[in-house]
Chains A and B, each alone.
Chain A
Amino acid sequence: MPLPEGFSKKVLEINPAQEADRICSRMRELVARSFRRRGFVVAVSGGIDSSVTLGLAAKAVGPERVLALLMPETHSAPETLDLSRLVADRFRVAHQYENISPLLEAVGFYDRYAAAVRRVIPGYERDWKSKIVLPSLLDRGGFRFFSVVAQRPDGSRVEARLPLEAYLEIVAATNFKQRARKMLEYYHADRLNYAVAGTPNRLEYDQGFFVKLGDGAADVKPIAHLYKTQVYQMADHLDVPEQIRSRAPTTDTYSLPQGQDEFYFSLPFDQMDLCLYGKNNGIDSATVARAIGLTPEQVDRVYEDIDTKRNGTRYLHLPPMLVAEVNEIG
């Protein structure tokens, strides 16, 4: 690839106006011709991805044909609701509030989650806060196991590595959140004869940072081809409120604040974007390392981690498989 000399974050610059037109044109075509629906439902979290998706949906079919769904729960950061309302108002889109806590309580999420954490932290109760974290990929190679970090009501913290069963139970329980939200998105989409616009960016779509049949489900994913850096460029263009553009990305899944880079991605998104771009375009690790201030060995580890995650992501993207073709359906 002939650009290593000039390799920098500039490679991710897009023309957001042109790109927005292209995306919106495709969204209109899909909703009218493929889905035969009349508008879009977008779940908004107060984060950058859902805000941009909402803005694109409003631009594509008109704000009067879009519904923003606000679906916080007990563990959500307190500011998510205000930020979600702010962006819905900015794009003049109607919004509906759905507190999913009673739904999660009914399926036993909060108790199941606490019981899973108690496998490694005896004494953990529902009034504690917690999150799961991965050790940094930059410090050492090898396999990385998740740990759970729990905070007692008095503020003191304890951390424990997660064995298999506890890890799977915690993830299975938290997946209720994304699936409960998706169920409500499709309820409103069916009620209004709308389609569901999903909100993953390219990092999430490529690396499997979504829940199968949860936030991974949608009729269209308008920004799945955009690197996170490009989502921010689009946010500037669409005039997403500054409070949202300047907010650090979070998972909005666990009760303790959790950055996406400590839970899933190896690096902050701007560095991760350049690593993914570099890997996708055959740029050697030394060149990428120079551009983002890491060592080539560290970038090699990120490249390996990208492959590892892609392997795990294939299952998440698979549609239900048939044993024999049903030719009439295709």
Chain B
Amino acid sequence: MEEIKLKVKNFVVGNFLFGNADGLDDDTSFLEAGILDSTGVMEVVAFLEQQFGVRVDDDELTPENLDSISSIGAFVSRKLQA
């Protein structure tokens, strides 16, 4: 899971924060911190599907699965094990 989280963090920092990771830790809520909007969530999902070869179903598009580096790490790990 740590490897997944690292890849996600690199993507988020590079794509949404232009390299400045100040204030971002694994449990930071993307939405509350204003890092992602609805288009940003679509970008994250596209990244996960391309990077990890998983398909994110409609009922999986929830903050519980996608709103922080930790939650994405756990979600993708579950998907890869399924």
Contact = CB atoms under 8 A, between A and B. Distances in A.
Interface of A: 135, 140-145, 161, 163-165, 167-168, 308, 311-312
B42 interface: yes
Interface stretch (B6-14, B21-29, B54-62, B68-76): B54-62
Given A161-B58, A164-B43, A167-B42, A143 B37 contact: no
Contacts of B53: none
B63 interface: yes
Given A143-B62, A143-B63, A144-B61, A164 B42 contact: yes
Interface string B33-54: 0100111011101100100000
A91 B42 CA distance: 45
14 contacts: A142-B63, A143-B41, A143-B66, A144-B38, A144-B61, A145-B45, A145-B58, A164-B43, A165-B46, A168-B39, A308-B31, A308-B38, A311-B34, A312-B38
A163 B46 contact: yes
What is the interface residue range for chain B against chain A? 10 to 19
Contacts of B39: 164, 168, 312
Contacts of A165: 46
Given A144-B38, A164-B45, A308-B31, 11 more contacts: A135-B58, A142-B62, A143-B66, A145-B42, A145-B58, A163-B45, A163-B46, A163-B49, A164-B43, A311-B34, A312-B37
A141 B65 CA distance: 12
A167 B63 CA distance: 21
Contacts, number: 40
A143 B72 CA distance: 14
B23 to A, nearest CB: 18
Contact of A311 (B37, B45, B59, B66): B37
A87 to B, nearest CB: 35
Contacts of A311: 34, 37
A164 B58 contact: no
Given A145-B42, A164-B43, A308 B37 contact: yes
Given A308-B37, A311-B37, A312-B37, A164 B61 contact: no
Contacts of A145: 42, 45, 58, 61
Contacts of B37: 308, 311-312
Contacts of B61: 142-145
A309 to B, nearest CB: 8
Contacts of A164: 39, 42-43, 45-46
A94 B17 CA distance: 51
Contacts of B58: 135, 145, 161
A143 B38 contact: yes
B69 to A, nearest CB: 17
**Residue from the set A135, A164, A167, A308 with the largest chain B CB neighbour count within 10 Å:** A164
B59 to A, nearest CB: 7
